[in-house]
Amino acid sequence: MFSFKKKEKLNAPLNVPKHIAVIMDGNGRWAKKRMQPRVFGHKAGMETLQRVTIAAKEMGVQVLTVYAFSTENWSRPEKEVSFIMNLPVEFYDRYVPELHKNKVKIQMIGDTAKLPKATFEALEKAESLTKLNTGLILNFALNYGGRYEINQAVKLIAQDVLDAKLSPGDITEEVIGNYLYTSNLPKMLRDPDLVIRTSGELRLSNFLPWQSAYSELYFTDILWPDFDEKALKAAIAEYSRRNRRFGGV
């Protein structure tokens, strides 16, 4: 039997992270287990993303940043790359209407100008359709690399110093944040409270290295296409049990 105190803790309201970042890993292995080509896993992964976004919104999450394509992913076979690049086009037609109904606001981060035209345009259409929405922000990281992001920020800061728009003494952490891709998010929501990685890999793989300095990390063996509302709740429940001190006591 539980003691009253323990019972009370189990029923305690969840401390829902405001910003969750997800490394959606394991699509290829999920497909392989079903004797299917890897792209079958990416397609299933896109469906999972839709369900998880709605579930996150219903739980009160405010920002969901998802690692959809890294700057390193270009080295995959050309067919797989072009399949992934076509997903936003399909996503716009099949899934964005429901997200829009749910007041989800779609945004993107990364070196998105280098994406194929159709990919970029599908995301831009989604951004513009949903830009006035006030619900959860679904933030796609596409052609994203964390070190590249910091490198670009340093170049922009150096240029602003040269142009006398900024003096070196004024470069604070907050100022640096304004030069990162995540400056597309409201100030208080730029850093993920929780980073989830699926498929059992225990790395951050160049995902939001600056922004995740104080994030709680959560790793699960579940392959991304199998990740569901129950798995999201388990991650949030684990987050709730942790005590974030930000270096204090």
- Which positions are annotated as active-site residues? 25, 73
Nearer to ligand FPP, 145 or 153 (CB): 145
| Interface region with ligand FPP, contact rule CB under 6 A, candidates 12-20, 51-59, 80-88, 231-239 | 80-88
The answer to whether the Cα torsion of 105, 231, 58, 216 is positive or negative is negative
Tokens, residue 83: 């399949």
24 scored as a contact of ligand FPP (CB under 6 A):
yes
| Interface region with ligand FPP, contact rule CB under 6 A, candidates 2-10, 84-92, 146-154, 182-190 | 84-92
Nearer to ligand FPP, 28 or 192 (CB): 28
Closest separation in Å from C-beta 30 to ligand FPP: 7
- Residue 70 β-bridge partners: 144
56 scored as a contact of ligand FPP (CB under 6 A):
no
CA-nearest of 65, 28, 34 to 182 is 65
Kindly give the pairing relationship between strand 194-197 and strand 216-219.
parallel
Closest separation in Å from C-beta 186 to ligand FPP: 23
| Interface region with ligand FPP, contact rule CB under 6 A, candidates 3-11, 81-89, 101-109, 143-151 | 81-89
- What's the one-letter identity of residue 100? H
- Contact 167/196 with Cβ under 8 angstroms? no
Q: Per-residue contact track with ligand FPP, 162 to 201, x per CB under 6 A?
A: -------------------------------------x--
Among 19, 21, 22, 45, binds ligand FPP (CB under 6 A): 45
Among 28, 110, 145, 192, binds ligand FPP (CB under 6 A): 28
87 scored as a contact of ligand FPP (CB under 6 A):
yes
138 scored as a contact of ligand FPP (CB under 6 A):
no
| Interface region with ligand FPP, contact rule CB under 6 A, candidates 7-15, 18-26, 174-182, 214-222 | 18-26
| Straight-line distance from the first to the last Cα atom of the chain, in angstroms, rounded to the nearest whole number | 33
Nearer to ligand FPP, 27 or 215 (CB): 27
| C-alpha distance from residue 154 to each of 72, 157, 161, 210 (Å) | 21, 5, 10, 13
Dihedral (C-alpha) 232, 236, 239, 241: value to the nearest 10 degrees? Answer: -130
Q: CA-to-CA distance for 20 and 66, rounded, in angstroms? A: 9
- Contact 63/20 with Cβ under 8 angstroms? yes
For 34-88, the DSSP string reads TT--HHHHHHHHHHHHHHHHHHHHHHT--EEEEEEEETTGGGS-HHHHHHHHHHH
Residues 108-127 that bind ligand FPP (CB under 6 A): none
The site for ligand FPP (CB under 6 A) is made up of: 24-29, 38, 42, 45-46, 49, 68, 73, 84, 87-88, 91, 199, 224
